[in-house]
Structure 1
Amino acid sequence: MSLIRLTSLATATVTAALLAAVVAAQSPTAPRTYKITAADLPAPSEHHQVPAKVVPRPEGASLTLPAGFTATVVASGGFKRPRNAVQAPNGDIFVVDSGPGSIWVLRDGDKNGTFEDGERSEFATGLKQPFGLVFGKGALYVAATDQVVKFPYAAGDLKASAAPTKLCDLPNGPVGHWTRNIALTPDGRGFYVTVGSWDNIKPDPDPLRATVLRFNLDGSGRTVVATGVRNGTGLAFHPTTREAWVTVQERGGLGDGLVPDFMAKVVPGRHLGWPYAYIGPHEDPRYKGEQPDLVKKTATPEVLFESHSSAMLMTFYTGKSFPAAYRSGAFVALRGSSETATRTGYKIVYVPFVKGQPTGEYQDFATGWMLGPDKPEVWGRPVGITQLQDGSLLVVEDGNGTLWKISYKGA
């Protein structure tokens, strides 16, 4: 086994401890495995702002995957800001186009494996930045930035048969993190919603922001489950333990090596740090001495991703078509950095679970959207990921507005 330095963190401002936080390659073709711990964190340092430049997909460019996997573009163009997709019970694909506030239905009528322009129908529009989608009994639940609504749904519907029913209001405003994800509780009695902060680092005047909330299925009974959640994006319940997990985008301004994005268990009463602390009781120097009790209370997340990776949506794998090593773990989309001198993210990673709990590691799964870690150009920014009924994965990327299907054909 060889050790490879984390080039995305290898700048003069990042300490040797974080450089030693490991990327292990078991063979030239094995996926890189990362394990970052709280002990690896550097001191705060110089901040960089290096936005990505999205370019068209180069001719012949495709994704790099583990042996036996293939990736195919199944839809491209026609979306302005696609962020999420789910599969309906009858096999149709529902895609959220957050920019114009629309939900689209894709149906492969000619069974050729792709969705042409004539195979797309606008199910609903007029929503304010919709993001989270989940099917329940006879309904499609949608988390927009300002509310959760429910559309009636019957198998095969290509257009909403009635106006949505508002279930609850959500904190929102003219600025701040706008994404709101939703997951139905395993007992079918309620749903969880993520609500991001209104600012990168400033404390929220609204105590319902930077939280994970729970509601009854009819939108009543709001309770705060977890706090200090700066920008929770991915949200899912583990298929066997039935515990909720969230992926979180952390703050900027503290240097290339801070603060790692993460995946954490959603435990009632758990505080995940924002804005006074991060990754356990590491106090944010911009708020030194202001909230010592909250700093002390801050939990350490179970899985840390490279800083500024922009962790997005996640899905636990329950299919049978992938090798057994991928079952019951989580796939996570990392949209990619804009605040590091060396680019990181722009990939799908796999988080292994053993006996219902993560090992703390994660592995590269789908890479290739970057032209290079030292170049500003990228040709894709993966944001959404969902498992399809055939066991394949559907990936949404919002840079060029494409949908990819990842399948296993055998090594």
Structure 2
Amino acid sequence: MMRKATFFTTASLALMVAGCGSDTQVQQYGENPELPGKQRGLFPTMTIAAPAAWGDNRPIVPKGFKVEPIATDLKIPRQALVLPNGDILVAEGKGGGDAPVTRPKDLIAGFIKKKGTSPVKGGDRLTLLRDADGDGRYEFRVVFAEHLNAPYGLALAGDRLFVANQDALVRFDYRMGQIRASGPPITVTRLPAEINHHWTKALAASHDGRFLYVGIGSNSNIGERGMAVEEERAMVWQVDAETGASRRFATGLRNPTALAMQPGIGQLWAVVNERDELGPNLVPDYLTAVRAGAFYGWPYAYWGNNPDKRVRPFKPEMVKKAIRPDYALGSHTAPLGLAFSNAAMGARFGSGVFVGMHGSWNRERPVGYKVVFVPFRDGRPAGAPVDFVTGFQKDGATFGRPVGVAVDPRGALIVADDLSNTVWRITPTSNRPPGQAAAEQGGE
């Protein structure tokens, strides 16, 4: 039996290679990315670098910054939230896993992708980190809430902490300095959870706290499970924080994995993971402002009005309705984190967004596996992305995979790494005087 299994895997890998298309790099960032012709084979190319311990290695950051691990041995850290007193909440969990396998290629892809992930069981919890004396070391760590269901998105609105589980939006009461939830979570509204092919539920709150915005991914790559299972998916919901009433805010977003509200303007932005199996350079994942009532194309079109006729039934009228996203991030980079910067990050990185790229699985040469900075000018992306945190891969080994990113208003980037189960903190080397943060901390 072992010999047959080995033969099956080897033969499957050979078929994948036979179905490969060209993996030539193309320019795929910004408003007008290159869109090469579609390349379809029996199987997509799959390359997952072997996970390895960090050892003496560390992520690489720009000159003038330093990086330190502030929490290790977590249970699949996905997203982080910096609270007003400087505490950091980390959502730990791993969802999905119940989607039925409908195609042989899905079975093979799932087997290979799993080898590039952490074997640790998801924590289904929120962990709180505290740096009480302001020295940059988060010496206090406690479980804030547990027995959740694959928590992912986090948002604080006034005295209420909202958490997007894979099946429901819930909330906790919160007071400054609190280290543990005062009671069980209260359900605000249920979220689509059947099959849960894309299980992550991104979350952001409006500036006034009246509305929550929830990103809900599709149940397939391109509708191969039938469109009935896509009901209320591949979109962003707007949820009334008081009543839980929801409505479709924007649709046609295949997998909106992170949401952020633009400071001062109140414009909602998202990063979106686009479709696969059209070649190594299609379709670009993207960053976009999320406009109320807009349709972004999935599954009928990509990057505006480019049709994708793999979906049945195909609807050409929907292609015409699709609007173009704002900024391409490259095909298969898998952006999962999004956070607006501020002046405390310095002149070069003070105006724009940080994007955590989890990294590709379906390219011969991996892409992503880093955190980039997209500069903004006049409230919009302007210019090429800048590598900000790299070094997650080296010599065929993968030390970490960045997911959520968060910016501390006092000048730090927080990065959740769900492969090494670490939270990293990147700060300018010209830090404020030690102890300043301690005076700002709440306590209990």
Specify if TM > 0.5: yes
2: CA distance between counterparts of 1:289 and 1:96? 38
2: CA distance between counterparts of 1:92 and 1:392? 12
1:321 partner SS: helix
Q: Residue type matched to 2:66 in 1?
A: T
1:155 partner SS: coil
Return the match for 2:254 from 230, 233, 240: 230
1: CA distance between counterparts of 2:179 and 2:208? 28
Q: Residue type matched to 2:206 in 1?
A: T
Structure 1 gap ranges (5+): 1-10, 23-33
The aligned counterpart of 2:84 is: 89
TM-score normalised by L of structure 1: 0.87
Matched, 1:152 2:173: yes
1:270 partner SS: coil
The aligned counterpart of 1:314 is: 338
1: CA distance between counterparts of 2:33 and 2:318? 18
The aligned counterpart of 2:422 is: 402
> How many Å apart are 1:112 and its aligned residue?
4.7
Matched, 1:352 2:375: yes
Q: Any residues of structure 2 matched to 1:8-407 within 5 Å, and which?
A: 13-14=21-22, 19=26, 21=27, 34-35=29-30, 37-46=32-41, 47-59=44-56, 61-77=57-73, 79-98=74-93, 99-109=122-132, 112-116=135-139, 119-202=140-223, 203-205=226-228, 206-287=230-311, 290-318=314-342, 320-359=343-382, 361-372=384-395, 375=396, 377-407=397-427
Q: 1:38·1:280 contact (CA, 8 Å) conserved in 2?
A: no
1:147-201 Cα shifts (integer Å, max 9, x gaps): 1111011122211111211111111123411111111112321111101111122
> How many Å apart are 1:321 and its aligned residue?
2.5
2:46 partner SS: coil
> How many Å apart are 1:272 and its aligned residue?
1.4
1: CA distance between counterparts of 2:345 and 2:83? 21
Which has the larger share of helix? 2
Work out the number of aligned pairs and report it: 380
Once superposed, what is the RMSD of the aligned Cα atoms?
A: 2.2
* Identity across the alignment (%): 34
> How many Å apart are 1:295 and its aligned residue?
1.3
TM-score normalised by L of structure 2: 0.81
Q: 1:52·1:337 contact (CA, 8 Å) conserved in 2?
A: no
Q: 2:61·2:388 contact (CA, 8 Å) conserved in 1?
A: yes
2: CA distance between counterparts of 1:353 and 1:345? 21
Q: Residue type matched to 2:427 in 1?
A: S
1:102-138 Cα shifts (integer Å, max 9, x gaps): 011112346553235xx22111111111101111211
Q: 2:356·2:404 contact (CA, 8 Å) conserved in 1?
A: yes
Q: 1:281·1:299 contact (CA, 8 Å) conserved in 2?
A: yes
Q: 1:304·1:360 contact (CA, 8 Å) conserved in 2?
A: no
2: CA distance between counterparts of 1:53 and 1:173? 32
2: CA distance between counterparts of 1:284 and 1:40? 13
Structure 2 gap ranges (5+): 1-18, 94-121, 432-444
2:201 partner SS: coil
Q: Residue type matched to 1:73 in 2?
A: P
